[in-house]
Amino acid sequence: MTENTTAMVIRGRKIATDINGLVSLTDIHSASGFSKNRTPGDWLGLQTTTQRILRVLKLNTGKSGNWTKTDYRTATYAKRGAGGGTFADPRLALDYAEYLNPALAIEVKEVFLRYKSADPTLADEVLQRATDEQNEWAATRALGRVKRNEFTEALKQHNVSGFGYGNCTNAVYKEVLGGTSKAVLKARDLPEKTNLRDKMSKDELVYVMMAETLARQRIEDEKPTGNTPCERATQRSASFVRQAIDLDRKDRQKSLGM
């Protein structure tokens, strides 16, 4: 499952946002109903647009000039290939929607405000149009997020800090998925900054959820303190989940005569 089921939807069109919150102008253009006219490129070529981009750059970077390529990407950039298009800061995206159609701009603003406030009814509206499989994945992902928060709260209560959270997470991933987050992303040919859990299968989310739940219970019972002791406790609980997965698979294969 790779779709972000909490994405914004305008006029039945999914409006993509990147990991930094920049909005796809390409998707907004499609939602507007235009085909070739008033494209993101047309709008970006306007002098008024340039002025707005410079203003956003100042607000984003705190600098009045000498912006780097990285600085510019906080305002707008173009991406090629699958999932590509022109992306822009939400303030610029609203300006672009206004350029396309004032009524569309109001719709975009309303949906974006609901999206930013994590309005659960917005996600529900999206899921009503999703398949049963997508709904099941989203429900599993949501429950996993709750259990993840319980796990990290237990780590916090037992004096885990800094890189300790990442190390404990990787202790789960190494047992359940066969490698650290970085290694799994690389093996699956996914960008380094991708949220791995958004790319996991439903079963993988369940396994990780189980490992973190057991680890939380172990930490609360055994009361380890600090990064390394909590990482060891997490790894031990996750290893039992791995054992259960492997033993069950072997038993199924045996029953099938494999």
Q: Is 24 helix (H, G, I), strand (E, B) or coil?
A: strand
Neighbours of 181 (CB within 10 A): 19
pLDDT of residue 137: 78
Instruction: Average the pLDDT over each of 58-62, 73-77, 82-86, 178-182 and give the range with the smallest value.
Output: 82-86
pLDDT of residue 122: 52
What pLDDT band is residue 1 in, cutting at 50, 70 and 90? very low
Asked if residue 159 lies in contact with residue 225, where contact means CB atoms within 8 angstroms, the answer is: yes
What pLDDT band is residue 14 in, cutting at 50, 70 and 90? confident
Tokens describing residue 113: 């405000």
Non-local CB neighbours of 182 within 8 Å, separated by 6+ positions = 192
What is the distance between the alpha carbons of residues 161 and 136, in angstroms, rounded to a whole number? Answer: 34
Whole-prediction pTM: 0.56
What is the distance between the alpha carbons of residues 80 and 92, in angstroms, rounded to a whole number? Answer: 20
pLDDT of residue 6: 43
Domain extent listing, the chain: 8-126, 131-255
What is the distance between the alpha carbons of residues 122 and 127, in angstroms, rounded to a whole number? Answer: 9
pLDDT of residue 5: 35
Identify the residue with better confidence: 247 or 101.
247
What pLDDT band is residue 129 in, cutting at 50, 70 and 90? low
pLDDT of residue 127: 53
> E-strand spans in 185-241?
none
Mean pLDDT of 147-161: 95
Mean pLDDT of 172-199: 91
pLDDT digits (tens, 9 = 90+) for 194-238: 889 988 999 999 999 999 999 999 999 999 999 999 999 999 999
How far is CA 184 from its chain centroid?
16
Mean pLDDT of 21-35: 84
pLDDT of residue 121: 55
Report whether pLDDT(124) > 70. Answer: no
pLDDT of residue 4: 39
Report whether pLDDT(110) > 80. Answer: no
Rg of the chain over Cα atoms, rounded to whole angstroms, equals: 22
